[in-house]
Amino acid sequence: MELYIDSANLDHIKHAASLGILTGVTTNPSLLAKEDPAVDVRDRILEIHNIVGGHCSVEVVATETDAMIAEADEILSWFPQATIKIPMIPAGLAATHQLAGRNIPVNMTLIFSATQALAANNAGARYVSIFLGRLDDIANSGIQVVRDTREIWERQGLDSKILAASLRHPMHLLEAAKAGAHISTTPYQVIMQSLKHPLTDNGLEKFLADYHKMQAEIAELRSELA
Ligand code: E4P
């Protein structure tokens, strides 16, 4: 499963990218709104794209098909490799269909059911973003939607990428991978949590303590012999 970071924070993106585990980044208007309003959105997006280098999803805020296309074209004028994030509404399906006809990658976002995922795939979306956490928040199983979608994809031979989004903790990451999501997009804190294990930290501490003890013993022996 590929790992994207779900963020617009440059420090977080830089650090996660430096670990060599990311193949992309997803942003959305809410994530951008958390950052310094003095920085122009275009400049921030371009910087994010330059840091990560791979997939970069940028979301439109228009809600009518023609306006979505115009916004997509503006984003593509910033950098032609952009993946356009379009909301899963009827106007978004029509926009996706048109953009896909021009071979522009679309990440259809705000998907909460396998039938929505199927419609997004059929409209030509290259990525279908299923929001696990927000489903769990309302006592629905987000992971079940990923499982259902993956089962449909297998049976029907569909090729758009299933992207597990709205992940809240490392368990979501684990479950998404087991359910067959092709990609997960994950907040920085969840990425960092998923890398931590107390036995790794304790193990390293013990290795280093033993190494330094050995060095001290060697130094003592040498000074006795000198
Ligand atoms: C996906 O691309 C979205 O940016 C994201 O995962 C939304 O997650 P949230 O529910 O944490 O806002």
Task: Report pLDDT digits (tens) over 205-218.
Answer: 999 999 999 999 99
Residue 25 pairs with which residues in a beta bridge? Answer: 5, 56
Which residue's alpha carbon is at the smallest distance from atom 11 of ligand 1? 166
Distance CA 133, CA 112 (A): 10
DSSP H helices, the chain, are 10-18, 29-33, 41-52, 65-78, 90-101, 114-123, 132-137, 142-156, 170-179, 188-195, 198-225
User: pLDDT-based confidence at 226, cuts 50/70/90?
Assistant: confident
Chain centroid offset of residue 116 CA: 20
pTM for the whole thing?
0.94
Q: How far is the CA of 216 from the centre of ligand 1 (A)?
A: 51
Ligand 1: residue of 2, 4, 5, 6 to mutate (most ligand atoms within 8 A of CB) is 6
Mark whether 34 is an active-site residue.
no
Q: How far is the CA of 214 from the centre of ligand 1 (A)?
A: 49
Mean pLDDT of 65-93: 98
Q: What is the mean pLDDT of the chain?
A: 97
Which residues does a 6 A CB cutoff place in the pocket of ligand 1? 6, 26, 28, 109, 129, 131, 133-134, 165-166, 185
